[in-house]
Structure 1
Amino acid sequence: MKILMALLLVVSWVFGAVDLNTASKQELMGIKGIGETKAQAILDYRSKQPFKSVDELANVKGFGKKNVEKLKDKLSVSEAKMETKKQEKDGI
């Protein structure tokens, strides 16, 4: 497991910031300062609504503004994709 975590950390460093809207729990846990509980809190938050900015991470339980500032350069937010249910509802 430690090897996997180290590999994920290296991959995220090589490829840049980890996307809050698409990262897996393991990818999030590969960031120093984000453990299993915080990673799950991120997944729970984004299941209700996608992140619009990294600053929105301060709204997730376990994160404060100081935490977000420390993590900001390691995280990114991609444009959220429209959900299939919303598309069907809107007749798209």
Structure 2
Amino acid sequence: MKKLLAGLLGALLLSSAAMAAVNLNSASQAELEALNGIGPAKAKAIIDFRTKNGPFKTVEELNNVPGIGDKTMEMLRKDVSVGPGKPAAAMGKPAMPDSKQPMAKPAMPGAKPPVSKPATPSY
């Protein structure tokens, strides 16, 4: 019984992952390789293309990637999407900030650091 439940859970997870479209602007090499018809060379070509030309504006721009032809495009169309902007890693920024605290603004030359006031207790 446990094996049956584990198998069903695994199939459910795989099917839900398969239903989610891969964002061409943020997908990793491994995520792209998981697509039908995309191997290591084509995944690298997609990443190189978006690095050189900026984020994809439409899924159809995938036709401009070397090695992606009409046949591959037809297979991929339903499995890929285009999200906003460049992926954080491609811009040389960490994907997640180290802290949820807002970053301090750079001080102007000669400016004094802000003085923090103690909290006023409320009764």
Q: TM-score, normalised by structure 2?
A: 0.54
Could you tell me how far apart the structure 1 residues matched to 2:17 and 2:75 are? Answer: 16
| Structure with more helix by fraction | 1
Residues 45-82 of structure 1, C-alpha deviations (whole Å, 9 max, x = no match): 0102110111100000000123212210000000125x
RMSD: 1.8
Matched with 2:75 is: 70
On the 8 A contact 1:12/1:18 being kept in 2, the answer is no
On the 8 A contact 2:21/2:78 being kept in 1, the answer is yes
Matched with 1:43 is: 47
SS at match of 1:37: helix
Bigger Rg, structure 1 or 2: 2
On the 8 A contact 2:56/2:82 being kept in 1, the answer is yes
Matched with 1:24 is: 28
Residues 13-33 of structure 1, C-alpha deviations (whole Å, 9 max, x = no match): 15x100000000000001110
SS at match of 1:33: coil
**What is the aligned-residue identity percentage?**
47
Which of these residues, 59, 63, 78, is aligned with residue 58 of structure 1? Answer: 63
RCO (CA 8 Å, sep 6+): is it higher in 1 or 2?
1
Q: Which runs of 4+ in 1 moved over 6 A?
A: none
Q: Which runs of 5+ in 2 are unaligned?
A: 1-13, 92-123
Q: Which runs of 5+ in 1 are unaligned?
A: 1-9, 85-92
Q: TM-score, normalised by structure 1?
A: 0.71
The number of residue pairs the alignment matches comes to: 73
On the 8 A contact 1:18/1:75 being kept in 2, the answer is yes
